[in-house]
Amino acid sequence: DQQVKQNSPSLSVQEGRISILNCDYTNSMFDYFLWYKKYPAEGPTFLISISSIKDKNEDGRFTVFLNKSAKHLSLHIVPSQPGDSAVYFCAAFFPNQGAQKLVFGQGTRLTINP
Amino acid sequence: ETGVTQTPRHLVMGMTNKKSLKCEQHLGHNAMYWYKQSAKKPLELMFVYSLEERVENNSVPSRFSPECPNSSHLFLHLHTLQPEDSALYLCASSQGERTGGYGYTFGSGTRLTVV
């Protein structure tokens, strides 16, 4: 049973426009949500996170929105740039003492067209 | 050297071979992880080590054997693998105790091909 789902395997957006990546989850126990970005032949890198007690977190061109009632979060990138082309993974933490356990979605490949 | 370093970057092995993947972190983290990324699948957590003690083993076949000799090094020993084990194997590290939503620092991964 997949607890974190990214239903769009790919997304294509024009440079300068807004990119919106979506993620759904099933477990209401998750208490932190994160987005990672991955380029080919590299490991994922942390992008932005949001606590379950918030509904929005912003960092420069990146904003993450959390809708707990819908168990849905989204990542907005505006304006989109060619360097944003990558695979984006949504992930969620279980509350845990000790080692952190992250559950990942399948990823969405974002392509920014010039 | 900083960050999380994985070696080798690429590995091709036969089904009867024995090989090891290595991961090293210089971030002062005290938890380390092995993840498997197969095509079109989510990243799958394989093993978690916290303070050098294995705290999670997600029903991984015994042909994968992890080792964590200290908080900076993590190995994944491989033997008699199957072609379906071909994937990208990612190592990650974290602070261990929850310090907020900063998640993991990942290595670049080892692309494993089993022939």
* A74 vs B: CB within 8 A: no
- Chain A, residues 41-60, CB within 8 A of chain B, namely 41-46, 49-51
Tokens 């974002």 appear where? A110
Query: Do A105 and B42 lie within an 8 Å CB cutoff?
Result: yes
Tell me the average pLDDT of chain A.
92
How big is the A-B interface in CB pairs under 8 Å?
86
Angstrom distances, CA of residue B38 to CA of A50, A82, B98, B103: 27, 26, 28, 21
A96 band by pLDDT with thresholds 50, 70 and 90:
low
Q: What is the model's pLDDT at position B108?
A: 94
Strands A62-67 and B4-7: unpaired
B27-31, B49-53, B99-103, B107-111: segment of lowest average pLDDT: B99-103
Amino acid at B42: P
Burial of B65 (0-12, 13-18, 19+ CB in 10 A): middle
Contact B105/A4, CB-based, under 8 Å? no
Query: Smallest Cβ distance to A99: which of B40, B55, B106?
Result: B55
* Mean pLDDT for the stretch of residues A66-87: 97
User: Does the beta-carbon distance from B108 to A41 stay under 8 Å?
Assistant: yes
Q: B73-79 and B18-25: which strand pairing?
A: antiparallel
User: What gap in Å lies between CA B40 and CA A70, rounded to an integer?
Assistant: 25
Task: Pick from B104, B105, B111 the residue to mutate for testing the A interface (most A CBs within 10 Å).
Answer: B104
Do B106 and A103 lie within an 8 Å CB cutoff?
Answer: no
**By three-state DSSP, how is residue A88 classified?**
strand
Question: Residue A97: its pLDDT value, please?
Answer: 55
Smallest Cβ–Cβ distance between B107 and the set A43, A103, A107 belongs to A43
A95/B contact by beta carbon, under 8 A: yes
Instruction: Return the H-helix or E-strand segment holding A33.
Output: strand A32-38
Q: Binning pLDDT at 50, 70 and 90, where does residue B102 land? A: low
Q: What pLDDT, on the 0 to 100 scale, is given for residue B97? A: 58
Residue A83: DSSP 8-state: G
Q: Read off the pLDDT band of B83 (50, 70, 90).
A: very high
